[in-house]
Every structure is written in structure tokens, then in C-alpha cells.
Amino acid sequence: MATPQNSKKLRSLIRRLKFNDYVFSLVGLVCMMLGVITLLALFTNLLIDGMERLNYDFFTSFPSRRAAQAGILSAWVGTTLVMLVTAIVAIPLGVAAAVYLEEYAPKNLLTAIIEINVSNLAGVPSIVYGLLALGLFVYQMDLGQSILSAGLTLALLILPIVIVATRESLRTIPREIREAAYALGASRWQVVSDHVIPYAKGGILTGVIIGLARAIGETAPIITIGALTFIAFLPPAPFSGDPPAGLFDWLQAPFTVLPIQMFNWVSRPEEAFLINAAATGVVIIVGTLAMNALAIWLRYRIRKNIKW
């Protein structure tokens, strides 16, 4: 039977724990607001500086030695093509590797070592991937300083992110769903393909898009493999030109990307080029935020439509 003294101590303990929760929530809110306000301040500063250059001509013009005529056509086209190669390589490999590790791989020492290394690779500096790609793709495989090399480099960079995010999504699926499917006679592949992956695809898509959003802003590995800082032409379109280009000739074309174009303009002493760099920074940030917003929206819609 609880004594009045014990009840008093219990109430005191509850009040102290509630106060600690309140303090922690307040500190977390302040830290979050500091980060958000800092980001908004930096973005607003870029937007004010680069607003005058954010027009149609800026997106449809090649880089130029005259700042007023310079644009980001070759940079955003190169970014789009590089990200296309990255997505085609990283998404199937990452999802397949995660499904194998989570659903098929035996729980032994080798699997544990692989899992630890995959998690560690997600935190490796991007320049390391650039050096690896320089030796492997550019020199050993003789792919040259091309869109294909850049796409494969960024695919290596985000592959651990895709694997980790996919595995976390697969782990959220209740085991009862698997057991119910097995009880009805489904094979392991039928359980994975018809039940586990469809229920987890919201989290999988979120991880994939966040990985691609990180890859868009990477500069170090792209510079390492030899991306151009000034390029005034586009990769050859399939079946264009004389003689006609092949279907995949654009993969071997030289390229540049938005972060490198921004870096090139920042290094110029003229103030007009700094305005161009600010406008490019706005484009990069808006693209990254749009991809993250798309990930949140997809996760919300998919989870809303799932019926357990």
C-alpha cells in the first residue's frame, strides 16, 4: 500500500521528468529554428543578389566571357544527364543489395562485416569516391572524362545511402505480413516482391530521392575525374548531326555541372560573375529543396494509400 510520503515522491518525480521533457523540447526547437533561420538568411541573400539574372536567357544561354550574356544551359543539361546515369545505376543496385541483405542473406560474420562497411561507406568524404573513380573508371576502364564516368562516380557515392534507406524501410514492415504470406503458400520472392517492397516503397523512394539530392550538389568527385569548368556546347543528341550520332554517344561526351559552373564564376574577380554565381546557387538550392519536398509528398501519399 502506497504511503503519503511515497505518493509525494512519485508526484515530485513526475513533475521533474515533465520539466526535463519541456526543457529538451524547447532546446530542440531553438536548435531547429537556428538552422532554418540560417538557411533562410543565406538563401534570401543569394536570391537578392541573383534575382536579376534569373530569366529565360540565363537558362538557355551558354557560358560566356561576358557576364551579362553568360548562362547555365550546358551546366543544367550536363547535371540532368549525369543524374540520369546515376539514377539508372544506383537505384536498381542499391535496392537489390538492400533486399538481399535484409531478406535473403544468412546472419553470419560475413554478412555482419558487409553491413558495417556499407554503413561506414555512407560517411566517407566524397573526394575519396572521386579518387577511386579516377583510377577505376577514367584510367583502368578507359571511360575518359565523360558523362558516363561522372554518373558512375555519383552512383558509387549514393549507393550506401540507398542501401541503408531501403533496409530501414524494409525493417518497418511488420513480420506478420511475411508470416501471413508464407502461411498461404507464397515463396520468398513472392513475399518480397508482392508484399514487402510495395509496402516499403514510400521509404525506398524517399531514400533514393534524398541520395540523388545530395549528388546534385557534389563538386569534389566531379572535379577529380576532370569535369570542364567552361563548355559552350551540348552533348550530341541521338541520331543528330552528320554523320548521325549514335543512341548512346552522349555518354562519352565532355560535360560540366551546376556546382562547377558556380565555382568557376565565384573565382572570377568581376562582380557581374558573382551575380551569375548567386543565381546558379539559387537554382541548385531550389532543385535540392524540390527533390526533398517530392520525397516527403511521395512518402505521405504512398503511406496514405496503404491498407494494412
Which pLDDT belongs to residue 207?
83
Run of H or E residues at 121: helix 109-121
- Contact indicator for 101, 169 with CB cutoff of 8 Å: no
- Contact indicator for 102, 167 with CB cutoff of 8 Å: yes
In the chain (308 residues long), the average pLDDT of successive 10-residue segments reads: 68 82 90 90 87 87 85 88 91 91 85 84 84 86 86 90 89 86 85 86 84 82 78 80 77 86 85 88 87 80 67
Which pLDDT belongs to residue 4?
67
Which cell numbers in the block locate residue 271?
562582380
Which pLDDT belongs to residue 93?
92
Q: At what angle do helices 258-266 and 73-99 cross, to 10 degrees?
A: 130
Q: Under DSSP, is residue 159 helix (H, G, I), strand (E, B) or coil?
A: helix
Which pLDDT belongs to residue 34?
92
158 vs 160: CA distance, rounded Å: 6
Give the count of alpha carbons within 13 A of 15, CB side only: 6
* Domains within the chain, CATH numbers bracketed: 54-305 (1.10.3720.10)
CA 161 to the chain's CA centroid: 8
